[in-house]
Amino acid sequence: MPNIGKPDLSEMLAQERRARLAAERLLDQKSRELHNANRKLSAHARLLSDEIIVKREEAKTFQSEAENLKGENTQVRADLQRANKQAVKAERRLWEALETIQDGFAVFNPRNQLVIANHSYMNIFDGLDSIRPGVTYPDILLLLVEEGLVDIGFEAPTTWQARMLARWKHDKIEPITLKLWDESYVKLIDRRARDGDMVSLALNITETIRYEEQLKEQRSRAEAANRAKSSFLANMSHEIRTPMNGVVGMADLLCDTDLSEEQQLYAETIRSSGETLLVIINDVLDYSKIEAQKLSLNPAPFDLERTIHEVLLLLKPSAQERGIDLLIDFDMFLPTRFVGDPGRVRQILTNLMGNAVKFTLEGHVLIRVTGFPGENGNHELRVTVEDTGIGIPAEKVDHIFGEFNQVDDERNRRFEGTGLGLSITCKLIALMGGEIWVESVEGEGSSFGFSLSLPTDEDTAVRVPSVETGLNKSALVVDDQQINRMILERQLSVMGFQVSSCRSGSEAMTTKSGSFDLIVTDYKMPDMDGLELSRRLRSRGEVAPILLLSSAPGDFGTLASDCGVNAVLQKPLLRRDLFRRVAELGIAMPEQNPAVDGQSEKSTSGGPPDKAGSGPPMTILAAEDNKTNQLVFRKMVGGLNVQVTFANNGREAVEAFQAARPDIIFMDISMPEMDGKEATRAIRAIEANSTLANVPICALTAHAMAGDDEEILASGMDHYLTKPLRKAAITAMIEQYLPGGVALHAPATTLSEEK
Ligand code: ADP
């Protein structure tokens, strides 16, 4: 039976068991939960510890960075301090430097207020209190004028201030010089900086101005001395030249007399030394004039071709001595009359052509003139002087244009000269706006050239005689020299001839008789000369007119016409002479042209071939007060077919001219009573009132100063020869104006004198 009041044991045990099971289950669950919680806890703890490690690392990095920054900061602070110190030092140095310099320095801000200025700048204001930082530039200008600190001359104060203010507004401010109250000078140099500040420099240029004033004074004193020197030289040159005329002239005449070899040597030495001395005097005179910039050009119309011809005529005797041919190749279509300084152009040509002849021992000297119309009616001329002479070594070519410079070698030392010619020539060409150049091959020859741009004188287009159209005329040129053949071929073909040419007389003899209308032959040829060729052509029945070209002096007497030559033409040959002769032969139609015909119109008046010794003598009037010079002149024309009348002064010359008009007048310039220029003006006035053509007048002058020749030509003279007179020059002049039909050389003694 169940025990009701008291639980039985099994129950109790079951309960206990159940309770224990439940407790075990709970324990198990709790222990699982604990395990889980433990696991989580340990995972969390691991995580935490990882984080702690990371954080610790980070903390470490931060700490080192903080330490770095701290270091850098100290460095930067030290740098800044150093930089500051340096800036202060630099500023102090700059300022000390600015204070030390004698020139003023100031800076204005963009509102034109003074920011800083050094003492020198402030000194300009002579201690004025109001000039201090902050004062404006317009106020400074006002004070400068009001206080009389600046000398503004006669300009109104307001105008001056306005001008000075306007100046600051320019982009590029020009420097300006101010004169101050204490006679000092400042030059203001202002520049606007990029930030708008104005930097102003006031340079003290008092010393420079004083120096300039001194220089000006010294220069004017030097110029006065130079003028005195020039006029001294001019007078000296006149004084030296007059007696030298006697010395050289007489020595020249003496050389022509019967002398022993020794005497001949002495006379030649006197003559050549005298001439050399005169060349030196002239060169030195010209050179000093160019150096003193006293040389001015005097443009006048002149005939270039004639000038070249005249220079060549003077060189002809020395060229002939060595058998050198002088040739002119003047561009066929180039005018001959230009406006330039005739005396100076002649001087340039004389130097270049003179050198070419001097330095050439055999061969030829060729003067080539070409040109083309340029701007403003000017002709662009190129003149070259080519020679087959000794040439110039390449390394010396630049050297020769310097003063007193010569190619100093064995070969060159044989030639006389001062070494001034080319230097003067160079300067003259530069003065005329031209250029000079040279090409040279040592041992082969030289070619000097220059360019000039010159206006042509009036309408001077060259017209050449032309053969009648449709007649198909032909001409034969015989010359051994290729250049000469070429020039002649060109000249004749311009006239309308069909031109053939031969190199020698024997080649010419192979041509068919009667196939030419004109034959032009050179005289001097190696195998057969021109006279012999003419004789042979005539004897085989040649009827064409024959022109003989010769460089030999004289006209061969009757020999030329005996050989059948129709006319002898002197080389170098002028275009106009060839044209005229051809026209006279009746093959071509002459064309009138003042540029080509000019003054030598009367020298050939047509008619038969030259006949030596025929015709009346040429009449010459010579005005010369000095008896020695009269004697020299008389002797120099002795042997020529001329009749000379002397006048002792200008008045007598005019009277003699009125009594009998001569063929040519030689006129001394300085004569008592009436000088040569005045006499010429009187003669030209008489001619102007008559229908007579002007008589050629050639001045004889002892003056050597530049400018004289222009004055001489301006008085109405056509030419001038400088003393001492040279026989060759006088003869060439006479030959140029020889009337047609009159032979130059008298067959017997036809020289007659009056007075
Ligand atoms: P100069 O002829 O009086 O000596 P220049 O000044 O005219 O003086 O010439 C200078 C030098 O140039 C001459 O001495 C000569 O050596 C050289 N020279 C000039 N022209 C020629 C030439 N045509 N051929 C060779 N040498 C020349």
Tell how far the Cα of 287 is from the centroid of ligand 1, in angstroms: 16
Average pLDDT score over residue span 498-520: 91
Query: Helix, strand, or coil here: 504?
Result: coil
According to CATH, what is the number of the domain 104-209? 3.30.450
Tell how far the Cα of 40 is from the centroid of ligand 1, in angstroms: 122
Q: Is the CB of 419 under 6 A from ligand 1?
A: yes
Q: Is the CB of 295 under 6 A from ligand 1?
A: no
- Say which residue the tokens 């020595």 belong to: 251
- Do residues 717 and 623 lie in contact, with contact meaning Cβ atoms separated by under 8 Å? no
Extract the tokens encoding 103. 């020139």
User: Considering only CA atoms, which residue is closest to atom 7 of ligand 1?
Assistant: 421
Q: Is the CB of 446 under 6 A from ligand 1?
A: yes
pLDDT digits (tens, 9 = 90+) for 77-122: 999 999 999 999 998 888 888 888 888 999 999 999 999 999 889 8
User: Considering only CA atoms, which residue is closest to atom 13 of ligand 1?
Assistant: 406
According to CATH, what is the number of the domain 474-585? 3.40.50.2300
CATH architecture of 618-737: 3-Layer(aba) Sandwich (3.40)
Q: Which of 565, 585, 573 is nearest to 473 (CA)?
A: 585
Helix axes 676-688, 650-659, angle to 10 degrees: 30
Tell how far the Cα of 253 is from the centroid of ligand 1, in angstroms: 29
**Atom from ligand 1 closest to the CA of residue 419:** 8
Please tell me the distance from the alpha carbon of residue 433 to that of residue 375, in angstroms, as a whole number: 14
| Cα separations in angstroms, 120 against 163, 168, 203 | 24, 21, 9
Please tell me the distance from the alpha carbon of residue 612 to that of residue 523, in angstroms, as a whole number: 17
Answer whether 300-455 and 618-737 agree in fold: no
DSSP 369-434: EEEEE-GGGEEEEEEEEEE-S----GGGTTGGGSTT----STTGGGS---S-HHHHHHHHHHHTT-
Please tell me the distance from the alpha carbon of residue 589 to that of residue 470, in angstroms, as a whole number: 13
Report residue 190's pLDDT band, with 50, 70 and 90 as the boundaries. very high
Q: Residue 614's pLDDT is what?
A: 44
Neighbour tally for 199: CB within 10 Å: 13
| Cα separations in angstroms, 148 against 177, 506, 720 | 16, 101, 66
Tell how far the Cα of 355 is from the centroid of ligand 1, in angstroms: 6
Boundaries of every domain in the chain:
34-96, 104-209, 300-455, 474-585, 618-737
> Is residue 553 scored above 70 in pLDDT?
no
What percentage of the chain carries pLDDT values higher than 70? 86
Tell how far the Cα of 400 is from the centroid of ligand 1, in angstroms: 7
**Atom from ligand 1 closest to the CA of residue 423:** 6
Q: Residue 609's pLDDT is what?
A: 35
Q: Residue 176's pLDDT is what?
A: 94
Q: Is the CB of 491 under 6 A from ligand 1?
A: no
> Is residue 608 scored above 60 in pLDDT?
no
Tell how far the Cα of 392 is from the centroid of ligand 1, in angstroms: 9
| Cα separations in angstroms, 453 against 149, 243, 341, 348, 376 | 56, 40, 12, 15, 10
Extract the tokens encoding 515. 């196939």
> Is residue 216 scored above 50 in pLDDT?
yes
* Residues present in the chain in total: 755
Q: Is the CB of 412 under 6 A from ligand 1?
A: yes
Q: Is the CB of 400 under 6 A from ligand 1?
A: yes
**Atom from ligand 1 closest to the CA of residue 408:** 16
Q: Is the CB of 347 under 6 A from ligand 1?
A: no
Please tell me the distance from the alpha carbon of residue 408 to that of residue 424, in angstroms, as a whole number: 19
Round the CA-based radius of gyration of the chain to a whole number and report it: 53
Q: Which of 281, 652, 258, 304 is nearest to 452 (CA)?
A: 304
Please tell me the distance from the alpha carbon of residue 686 to that of residue 681, in angstroms, as a whole number: 9
Extract the tokens encoding 186. 């400042």
pLDDT digits (tens, 9 = 90+) for 409-435: 555 555 666 678 898 899 899 999 999
> Is residue 362 scored above 80 in pLDDT?
yes
Q: Which amino acid is at 40?
A: K
DSSP-assigned beta bridge partners for residue 621: 645, 665
User: Considering only CA atoms, which residue is closest to atom 14 of ligand 1?
Assistant: 406
Q: Residue 477's pLDDT is what?
A: 94
Q: Is the CB of 108 under 6 A from ligand 1?
A: no
Phi, psi of 704 (to 5 degrees): -120, -5
Q: Which alpha helices (H) appear in 101-156, and where do they start and end?
A: 119-123, 137-146
- Do residues 116 and 106 lie in contact, with contact meaning Cβ atoms separated by under 8 Å? yes
Q: Is the CB of 424 under 6 A from ligand 1?
A: no
Query: Helix, strand, or coil here: 212?
Result: helix
Pocket test for ligand 1, best of 392, 409, 424 (most atoms within 8 A of CB): 392
Pocket test for ligand 1, best of 277, 280, 355 (most atoms within 8 A of CB): 355
> Is residue 5 scored above 60 in pLDDT?
no
**Atom from ligand 1 closest to the CA of residue 412:** 16
Please tell me the distance from the alpha carbon of residue 735 to that of residue 732, in angstroms, as a whole number: 5
> Is residue 291 scored above 90 in pLDDT?
no
Contacts by 146-154 with C-beta closer than 8 Å and gap 24+? 148/181, 149/124, 149/125, 149/180, 149/181, 150/178, 150/179, 150/180, 150/181, 151/178, 151/179, 151/180, 151/181
How is domain 300-455 classified at the CATH fold level?
Answer: Heat Shock Protein 90 (3.30.565)
Tell how far the Cα of 293 is from the centroid of ligand 1, in angstroms: 24
Please tell me the distance from the alpha carbon of residue 416 to that of residue 206, in angstroms, as a whole number: 54
Extract the tokens encoding 271. 């003559």
* Cα atoms in the 13 Å half-sphere on the side-chain side of 325: 21
Extract the tokens encoding 465. 């005689």
**Atom from ligand 1 closest to the CA of residue 356:** 23
- Say which residue the tokens 């340096």 belong to: 86
Q: Is the CB of 351 under 6 A from ligand 1?
A: yes
- Say which residue the tokens 């301090």 belong to: 81
pTM for the whole thing?
0.50
Q: Is the CB of 352 under 6 A from ligand 1?
A: no
Neighbour tally for 190: CB within 10 Å: 19
pLDDT digits (tens, 9 = 90+) for 456-477: 876 444 555 555 444 578 999 9
With helix as H, strand as E and coil as C, how does 277-297 read? HHHHHHHHHHHHHHHCCCCCC
Q: Is the CB of 421 under 6 A from ligand 1?
A: yes
pLDDT digits (tens, 9 = 90+) for 679-726: 999 999 999 888 778 899 999 876 554 456 677 778 888 888 877 777
Tell how far the Cα of 446 is from the centroid of ligand 1, in angstroms: 10
